[in-house]
Every structure is written in C-alpha cells, then in structure tokens.
Structure 1
Amino acid sequence: MTSEAQPSKGTLRVLQLYPKDMNIYGDWGNALVLKRRIAWHGYTPELLEYNVGDPFPDDVDIIVGGGGQDSGQLVIQDDLQTRAEQLRKLADDGAPMLAICGLYQLFGKFFKTSSGSVIPGIGILDVETYGTDERLIGNVIMQTTEFGDVMGYENHSGQTTLGPGAQPLGTVTKGAGNNSKDGHEGARYKNVVASYLHGSLLPKNPAIADFLIRIAAERKFGSFVPGTPDDDYARLAREHAARRPR
C-alpha cells in the first residue's frame, strides 16, 4: 500500500540573480538547495533566473546571488543599477535574500578595485569594499548567534568593512572573513544575509536555508509549517569541513 502525496502548502519562488555572470565556485548550488528544502518542507518550489536585460519576475519570494570575477561585476553593474530601487524596496520590506561574494560587494555602497576604478553598489548594505593585493583564501568557520557555526570557503581580494547600518553575520574562528583586520564575516540587514563564503554555502549550512524559507513562507502565507528535511548529508559535510585545515 502506497501513501498518497501530501498537498502542497503553497508555492515559493526563488530567483537567482545573474547566474550567467555571477556563478563562480558553485554558487548556483545555493538555489538548488533552496529548491530541495522547500519541497522537503512541503511547499512547491519554483526556480527562476534573472540575467542582464531580462524582465524582472513578479512575486519573487527569495532572492539569491553569487560571486564572480571583477569582469563579471563590470558586465552586470549597469543592469543592476536599473534594478536597484526594486531590490532596495524588497530588502526594506523584509524579503529574504542571500548575497555571496561579488553580489555581497555590489549590494553595498561601492567596490573600488585595486586599479582605482569604482563599481557603484546599490546600497542595500552599509558596507564598502576595496580591492587589495592580498588574497584571502581558504576554509572558514565562523560563530553566529542565529545559525550556529557557519562553514565555507573564501577566495577574494576585495576587503569589506561594515558601517553602522550593517551587522556582521558572524565572528571568524578559522580564516579571515570580510577583511584581514577585524575578524568579522559577512553582513546582515533585516532579512538579507551576505557572505564571502562559497562552497556552495547552503549545503553545509541548512540553518541559513531554512531561515530564508521560513521568512518567505511567513511573508507570503502568514505562517511557516516546517517539514522533515533530510540533514544527514549536511551533517556529514559539516563534520568533514570542520576537520579541514585553513
């Protein structure tokens, strides 16, 4: 006797920003994790892409964006500015977002490259980034109050400092983080989570994925009814990551 499939609790739409140009080190995996975990929680996932020149989808519930080389940031910078007001409004309204590395930088005020050129950001995050000759690379573990230990891999020469309008995502216990000085990693503003950590980030850190899903469901449906996701592989990945050297 087979059990009948349970009816969906509703559809959650995940939008990946600029996957053609900002998808380095497997950041597309973050969208795939959200798709899988949304289904495990009993909702119907809808995975969308937004690239330069595309119409921006309506009724987006979660926004994720990845990293890219400086050349990728130059490709998207003008288009991103055309969407700045729309994205700022969503962030101010509490929409859940995940911005990794290059898009973390461009969600801030600006990125000034090591050659002196300035790529303007869209000002969702009160952060500034400066290109340097020092490359911060290796495995990272940070402590957070909201998500426990967060693990990933950093590889960036841009160094980011936070202003008073942003809070760090966590405090680094292994690795460098935002810069080589203050021991902070990532940034938070309302329900925006920003980080330099690749890997992809979410497979090893399902608590962040579930936070984004919970916020999206609460905003759309008024409540979040969790399911029973399978975290066995995530636990194994975390155990392995914790043993890795810097």
Structure 2
Amino acid sequence: MSTDRAYPVPAPGGESTLRIVWIYPDLLSTYGDRGNMLILARRAQLRGIPVETIEVRSDQRLPTTADIYLIGGGEDGPQALGAQRLIADGGLHRAVAQGSVVFAVCAGYQLLGGSFFAKGTKCAGLDLLDLHSDRGSTRAVGELAGDIDPRLGLPPLSGFENHGGRTHLGPGVSPLARVTSGIGNEGITEGAWRGKLLGTYAHGPALARNPALADLLLRWATGVHQLPPLDDTWSERLRAERRAALAARA
C-alpha cells in the first residue's frame, strides 16, 4: 500500500486493499494465533480499510506482494518443517525486501532468527532477525508482561507464554520489551523488532490483548501516522484484569 495515506474510507474506484497473509496455518497454529489475523482485519475494517485475508498452507507458494505476514506458534516438528519450506520458497525474504510487515509469535518468532532447536536438533532459521534460540532448562509457562521499547510508543505488553526456548538477541535487533513478569527471551528481555519485523513469545492471542500493537502493525503497513480511535473497552478490561492478577501474586 502507498505511504502517508489518510483513512477512513478510500474513494470509490481508488481503493487500496490491505492484504494480510497467515503463513502455514496447517503447521503453525497451535495456540489460537489465527486470532491475530482476525483482530488485524477487524480493526482495519472498522476504519474503512478494505481487507483481504489469505491463508497459505505449507504446500502452497507464498505470495510476495501482501502488506502483512503473520506466523503463529507450533510444536518442534511443524516448526522445523515450516522453516525448511519458507527457506526453500524464498517468498518471505522477497516480501521483506519490498517493505512488508511481519508479525511472528513463539515458534514463528524463533524461525525468523538464524537458528533454533527442534527435537534436540539445531535447525536453520530464515535469518531475517539477528537472533538465535536454544533450549532452556525449564519450560516458560504463564503470564508474560513487560514494558515495551519506548520508541514504539505502546502501553505495556500483556500475554501468555508457553515455550521451552531461550532466545538471544544480536546487535542487529532491539528487544520488544523488558520483562516485568515471566521469561520472554531469557528472563530480561522479550521479543525483538527491526524495521517492520516484530516477534514475540506472547500468545493470548497477542493482538487481542494488545490492540495498540495491532494498530502499530496497521500503521506500518498503510503508512498512516495516526489511525482513528476505536472503542477498546473490552480489551482494556482484560488488560486490567491480568494486571490485577499479576499484582495479587507479587
């Protein structure tokens, strides 16, 4: 889509459709991460932005001209297979080179890096983010919260994590957040971002629990600096409930 657009509704005959691709739902969709696609589509539509959602299975070629690409979580075997097929396909690398947005969760986040471990074997990642993942001594399960990089201008991260990996960031990326509860990458930082690529361990789905993050992805994809506000009463209640639950455990 073009940059510096103004929404809501584009003029008839001049519509620019926001294309959202969900990558390999047959392999990487263990934790309800399809919700991220639904949230993005709905928040765009409520602002008058036409949306096309595309689910690309692992036996299909990945389109290279979409605006946003989503990768979800999965078990070790599907994660390794997904990485192999994405590397062989090459489409995501071409899309990133053209400026597309990528949002990846858990296993999808790990495979954006240089390497990760699946079933005890070191596997090659897509090397789109300067990071690598190995196995932790314990599994990270529970609420995940953190203060997001202030440059992104977002409220604290809220989510649920369930993973056995530990992710180590290189100088080419920035942490998405500093952990206040949970493990995230390694107990100090959570997630990573560079340019229009962003990864996290947060499920929930992440964009349902973090609508401002969803809007950030939409702004990146559309080139809009500010989107019209939406009624986020429900999500704010959920976020407040989770904050209260964490405070009660402290």
Is this a same-fold pair by TM over 0.5? Answer: yes
Q: Is 1:243 paired with 2:244? A: yes
Aligned to 2:117: 112
Aligned to 1:135: 139
**Inter-CA distance 31–126: structure 2 relative to 1 (3 Å threshold):** same
Of 171, 184, 187, which residue of structure 2 is paired with 1:164? 171
How far off its partner does 1:224 sit?
5.8
Aligned to 1:51: 57
Aligned letter for 2:73? Answer: G
Matched-pair contact (CA < 8 Å) for 2:61–2:89? no
Aligned letter for 1:136? Answer: A
Q: Is 1:73 paired with 2:79? A: yes
Unaligned runs of 5+ in 2: 1-7
Matched-pair contact (CA < 8 Å) for 1:65–1:103? yes
Aligned to 1:12: 18
Matched-pair contact (CA < 8 Å) for 1:92–1:190? no
Matches within 5 A, 1:1-246: 10-84=16-90, 86-113=91-118, 115=120, 117-144=121-148, 145=150, 146=152, 147-180=154-187, 183-218=188-223, 223=224, 226-245=227-246
Matched-pair contact (CA < 8 Å) for 1:167–1:187? yes
How far off its partner does 1:76 sit?
1.8
How far off its partner does 1:22 sit?
0.6
SS at match of 1:35: helix
Aligned to 2:4: none
SS at match of 2:156: strand
Aligned letter for 1:176? Answer: I
Unaligned runs of 5+ in 1: none
For residues 230 and 126 of structure 1, what CA distance do their matches in structure 2 show?
36
How many residues of Structure 1 are paired with residues of Structure 2 in the alignment? Answer: 234
TM-score, with structure 1 as normaliser? 0.88
Deviations 1:7-54 (A, max 9, x none): 675310100111111112211100000010010121011111111121
Deviations 1:72-102 (A, max 9, x none): 1133232111234x32343344322111000
Deviations 1:150-204 (A, max 9, x none): 1001111111000111110010111111014xx0000001111100011100011
Deviations 1:189-245 (A, max 9, x none): 111110001110001111111111111112xxxx46623422111111111121224
TM-score, with structure 2 as normaliser? 0.87
